[in-house]
Amino acid sequence: LDLYTFGQVISMASLRFGQHLITSSQIFFQSSLSFAFVNIRPVVLGHVLVAPKRLVKRFAGLTQEEITDLFINSQRVCATVERAYNATSCTIAIQDGHDAGQTVEHVHVHIVPRRSGDFKRYDDVYDKINECESSLDSWQRTARSEQDMNEEASHLAAMLKQ
């Protein structure tokens, strides 16, 4: 599968996200140190994740180079998601550790496109993220079909080219 990575086309393989395997068809971006993929159970349409390629459980375990790469690419993904979903803002969140709501022990950034009135209170998005994260009975849940996730990933990869 060929996808766009800010200036060049690359071939992609499946990557690990904690104990889970993210298929190449769900990944829409990767750099040498991080990757972005669609969310199996998004809070809103366009809710995606950006993670380092190296399995690191907590934010403090990232190298300076990984932090820089993760945040530069989160910024790029956020701009793309806003454009792709006609959003006016983004919520960008990291749940760092179990007591912060992290359910997959792999650092990851939530990128959630936002619009006026999408939640009753602006901060309700955090409750929704926690609700979705804590309701994970199994990674194999079928909240979204493979086809839906693959189509979204293809759409976002194409948007990165623009």
Question: What is the rounded distance in angstroms from the CA atom of residue 61 to the CA atom of residue 65?
Answer: 12
Tokens found for residue 116:
């006026």
Instruction: Give me the helix-helix angle, 64-84 and 146-160, nearest 10°.
Output: 100
Q: Which of 47, 106, 108, 110 is catalytic?
A: 108
Q: Who's near 52: CB < 8 A, 6+ residues apart?
A: 33, 34, 62, 66, 69, 70, 106, 107
115 phi and psi, to 5 degrees?
-140, 160
Give the residues across from 38 on adjacent strands.
Answer: 48
Q: Which residues of 124-134 are buried (b: 16+ CB within 10 A; e: fewer)?
A: ebbebbeebbe
Is 108 a catalytic site residue? yes
| CB contact at 8 A, 117 and 42 | no
Active site residues: 108
